[in-house]
Amino acid sequence: MDFPSNLIVRAADVGFRNTKYINSITGSDIRCESFPSIAYPSMREPSTQPGFERRKTVSIPINGLFYEVGPEVELAADTFRATQMHDRYIDTPEYMALLRGALAMMKVPAIDLLVVGLPVAALATKKSTLEKLVTGTHDIGNGKTVTVRKALAIAQPQGALVDFAVQHQKMATIEREQSLIIDCGSRTFDWLVARGMRLVQNKSHSVNRGVNDMLEAIAAEISSDIGTPYNDIDAIDWALRTGKS
């Protein structure tokens, strides 16, 4: 399908551990960024508080609170890690703060089409709800807004399929192929069967068993070995990613 070149199309995937988004598109060059899915609430705008040091975050106003989100959000950390790990994730103010934080970092006042992601098992029940939630004008703080004219929610693994097809010049031939995409996320383990780019619903699903479960199991073993509770999940995640202790 061809789209007018003047339309602004972006994507944002608010995951349980990381929020990923398209930062800019120049011709065929698509730039993506991400930040931790952590939103720290406060009663006042953080930058107006005494002793505030500038960091790469934005403060999103929602329902009388300010939620700080962004790449350097861990500099705002306290002893409580403000993450959400449950099935009503998209209904939380934290989810909306993370989404609006991504919109703020896209630095465009209006988006013609915003593509967002859902776990496979949630697509049938939450697709319409999420699309309605995302469509409209969003307050991103400091008197600025971003208007999303249309939203499209897809199963999260479908993004990997599209990327593969584009990277390997298969867009013209993939319609005749059947694909299996496996996506082990932070909270959910998703698998998706597609005929071309179309989801085969009855062969696709997701379960609440993700990377976070593995990290917690490792933390439990460490606790047993050292004889004291250990729950620094981020440190374990970093060690596995980098190979450094």
| Portion of the chain with pLDDT greater than 90, in percent | 58
pLDDT digits (tens, 9 = 90+) for 173-195: 898 899 999 999 888 899 999 99
The mean of the pLDDT values for the chain is 89
Kindly state whether residues 132 and 226 are assigned to the same domain.
Answer: no
Total domains in the chain come to: 2
pLDDT category, 100, cuts 50, 70, 90? very high
Whether residue 178 is contained in a domain is answered as no
Domain end call among 155, 176, 191: 155
Query: What does the pLDDT read at residue 78?
Result: 67
Whether residue 113 is contained in a domain is answered as yes
pLDDT category, 117, cuts 50, 70, 90? very high
Query: What does the pLDDT read at residue 1?
Result: 47
Whether residue 14 is contained in a domain is answered as yes
Rounded CA separation 220/232 (Å): 11
Kindly state whether residues 61 and 144 are assigned to the same domain.
Answer: yes
pLDDT digits (tens, 9 = 90+) for 61-94: 999 999 999 998 887 776 556 566 667 889 999 9
Whether residue 72 is contained in a domain is answered as yes
Q: Give Cβ neighbours of residue 8 (< 8 Å, ≥ 6 apart).
A: 108, 110, 111, 112, 113
Kindly state whether residues 33 and 99 are assigned to the same domain.
Answer: yes
Kindly state whether residues 18 and 139 are assigned to the same domain.
Answer: yes
Whether residue 17 is contained in a domain is answered as yes
Q: Which helix (H) or strand (E) holds 141?
A: strand 136-141
pLDDT over 60 (residue 51): no
pLDDT digits (tens, 9 = 90+) for 129-150: 999 999 999 999 999 999 999 9
Whether residue 107 is contained in a domain is answered as yes
Domain harbouring 30, CATH code: 3.30.420.40
Kindly state whether residues 28 and 144 are assigned to the same domain.
Answer: yes
pLDDT over 60 (residue 2): no
Domain end call among 135, 155, 175: 155
Whether residue 230 is contained in a domain is answered as yes
Residue-number span of the structural domain to which 76 is assigned: 9-155
Whether residue 197 is contained in a domain is answered as no
pLDDT digits (tens, 9 = 90+) for 218-236: 999 999 999 999 988 888 9
Kindly state whether residues 221 and 150 are assigned to the same domain.
Answer: no
Question: What's at 38, amino acid-wise?
Answer: I
Which structure tokens are listed for 152?
A: 């499209």
